[in-house]
């Protein structure tokens, strides 16, 4: 079902309350280390301001757990936003208190106000109706442009929509729903998914759903050793998700009758220590010795994965296939990124989601060769698992 979007509304003279995802990484000095998420919402922000509306932005940052944590203030984000926009950006020291109300009352058309960190108030994550109503008082129209939080039923993503209509999707939200939705509803085939990361836990639902959706599912990262353990293989000192052994066994059984072909690595790069200076070897997955741990996929696996991606017309990638933060074990992730980019160059529809895989693509300089870089890690996974996202369900239908 299509949701109402920004382009469906006449915003002139209106007050627009917009949920954005400004949960940006900060360095040790409190400066913004990566402003990608801020830039991602600029098209929606500019659309609202150009229409002559007054814009109130709300977001969370980090996990303050309902307490005021100065190090998690959104003030640095307001400062950065002011550098990116030609019009004034105000900042409120609270969310629904005196500062926020005072700043909002002085807003002029074409101006922006950013509220303080929503999660300084426990009422946000509790989806408290009183808090939701107080937030809704800042707008005539509600816009959700924070796909990365759409899987959370919080006051700013769900509760506000109960008190403020219409509730529409921002331009970024629309882009996310279009690109991810295409993969689930009518993907070009062959359709390949690559899942990496450390643990099976947290990816069970998406693995099981993708087994019924894609043509080939490639697994890498630390999670593979849990599957090898189920197969009865020795994994040395490699990471094993002991709590997910039964789940891994269930996934392997499902793969026997599923649409997708489940492909695990044939070989891995192992080391005698979790360090870039450690001794390294390339071995078959059947030959991992005691005292060694697998930290990347091996050369045979790279060739097999790359051949599969090369033949694909749709690709979804979530999670690095090795410890790419350490250059000695980044080869597999680099090869996957280059293969996905090359497939995209040939016309494949590609989506990369998840913080670490997005970081890898950016570090490799491949972002502009990917169809869509998703801003929602957990939300992307839940969407690809076939789950309904509360923040999307709350929006007004078109």
State both tokens at 206: 């998406």
The residues, any chain, with a CB within 8 Å of residue 151's CB and separated by 6 or more, are 376, 378, 379, 382, 383, 387, 389, 390, 391
CA dihedral 27, 33, 35, 38 (to 10 degrees): -10
Per the annotation, the verdict on 37 as an active-site residue is yes
15 counts as catalytic: no
| Class of residue 106 by CB neighbours under 10 A (exposed 0-12, middle 13-18, buried 19+) | exposed
Of the candidates 66, 97, 378, 386, the residue annotated as catalytic is 378
b/e per residue, 237-247, with b = 16+ CB within 10 A? Answer: bbbbbeebeeb
Catalytic residue among 3, 15, 37, 90: 37
| Annotated active-site residue in 75, 101, 199, 259 | 199
Is 304 noted as a catalytic residue in this protein?
no
Of 62, 97, 110, 355, the catalytic one is 355
| Residue closest to 391 by CA, chosen among 130, 153, 166 | 153
Active site residue 28: no
245-255 and 204-211 helices, crossing angle to 10° = 10
β-strand 280-284 against 261-263: which pairing, if any?
unpaired
Tell me which residues are annotated as active site.
37, 199, 355, 378
């Amino acid at each position: 079902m299509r949701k109402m979007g920004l382009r469906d509304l006449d915003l002139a003279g209106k007050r627009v309350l917009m949920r954005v995802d400004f949960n940006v990484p900060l360095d040790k000095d409190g400066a913004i280390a990566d402003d990608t998420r801020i830039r991602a919402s600029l098209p929606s922000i500019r659309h609202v301001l150009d229409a002559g509306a007054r814009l109130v932005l709300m977001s969370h940052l980090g996990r303050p757990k309902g307490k005021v944590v100065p190090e998690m203030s959104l003030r640095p984000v307001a400062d950065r936003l002011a550098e990116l926009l030609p019009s004034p950006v105000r900042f409120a020291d609270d969310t629904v208190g005196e500062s926020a109300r005072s700043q909002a009352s002085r807003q002029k058309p074409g101006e922006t106000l950013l509220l303080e960190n929503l999660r300084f108030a426990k009422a946000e994550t509790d989806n408290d109706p009183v808090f939701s109503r107080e937030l809704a008082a800042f707008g005539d129209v509600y816009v959700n442009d924070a796909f990365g939080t759409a899987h959370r039923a919080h006051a700013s993503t769900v509760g506000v929509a109960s008190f403020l209509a219409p509730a529409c999707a921002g331009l970024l939200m629309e882009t996310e729903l279009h690109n991810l939705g295409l993969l689930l509803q009518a993907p070009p085939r062959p359709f390949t998914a690559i899942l990496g990361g450390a643990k099976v836990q947290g990816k069970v639902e998406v693995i099981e759903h993708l087994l019924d959706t894609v043509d080939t599912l490639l697994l890498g990262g630390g999670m593979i050793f849990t599957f090898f353990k189920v197969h009865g293989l020795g994994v040395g000192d490699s990471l094993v998700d002991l709590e997910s052994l039964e789940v891994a066994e269930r996934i392997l059984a499902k793969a026997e009758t599923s649409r997708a072909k489940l492909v695990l690595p044939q070989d891995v790069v192992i080391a005698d220590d979790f360090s870039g200076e450690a001794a390294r070897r390339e071995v078959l997955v059947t030959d991992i010795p005691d005292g060694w741990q697998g930290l990347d996929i091996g050369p045979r696996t790279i060739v097999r994965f790359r051949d599969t991606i090369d033949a694909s017309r749709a690709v979804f990638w979530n999670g690095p296939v090795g410890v790419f933060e350490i250059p000695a074990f980044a080869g597999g992730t680099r090869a996957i990124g280059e293969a996905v980019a090359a497939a995209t160059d040939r016309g494949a529809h590609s989506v990369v989601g998840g913080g670490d895989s997005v970081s890898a693509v950016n570090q490799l300089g491949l972002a502009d060769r990917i169809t869509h870089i998703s801003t929602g890690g957990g939300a992307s996974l839940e969407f690809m698992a076939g789950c309904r996202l509360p923040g999307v369900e709350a929006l007004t239908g078109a």
